Amino acid sequence: MKRLIPATLIFIFIIAVCIGAHMYVDNACDQTINDIENYYNQSITGDELEEKWQERKENMALFVNHNFLDKISVYIGQLTLTEEEDNSPEFDTVYKNIESILELIKAEQKFALHSFY
């Protein structure tokens, strides 16, 4: 019985960390989409967009596949270049690529039975 209480507390702590990580990743993905939309509306500059993404990327690296984060970094770099050239169709294409990767990240973070095996 002495071992059951610490084991239960550790189990509850692990579940809380998993739920917190899931909520953080979802929130970070939503904030990234909002930042890109603000960049398109010229509310923030390209440097601010890249700076915000780098902060989120470092924190998300604990929970997310690094390949996804690297692809998003490349696409955000392309996004700032396409906007400087005033190429709206290219901006839309890059935006859709970033959005699809962020949705894939969210889908991977969802709790499912196959996540445990």
pLDDT single digits (tens) 44-68: 888 899 999 999 999 888 888 899 9
* Residue 29: inside a domain: yes
The reported pLDDT for the residue numbered 8 is 92
Per-residue pLDDT reduced to its tens digit, 14-47: 889 888 888 999 999 999 999 998 988 888 888 8
Residue 41: CATH number of its domain:
1.20.120
Instruction: Please indicate, yes or no, if residue 58 is contained in any of the structural domains.
Output: yes
Which pTM was predicted? 0.80
Task: Give the per-residue pLDDT at 3.
Answer: 87
Determine the pLDDT at residue 82. Answer: 67
Amino acid at 2: K
Q: Which domain holds residue 26?
A: 21-110
Tell me what pLDDT residue 12 has. 93
Contacts of 28 (CB under 8 A, 6+ apart): 56, 59, 60
Q: Answer yes or no: is 80 within a domain.
A: yes
116 in any annotated domain? no
Residue 117 lies in a domain: no
Are 30 and 69 in contact by the 8 Å Cβ rule? The answer is: no
**Predicted confidence band at 83 (pLDDT cuts at 50, 70, 90)?**
low
For residue 71, being part of any structural domain is answered with yes
Q: Is residue 7 part of a domain?
A: no
Dihedral sign computed on CA atoms, order 81, 85, 86, 91: negative
> How many domains is the chain built from?
1
Residue 89 lies in a domain: yes
pLDDT value of position 10: 93
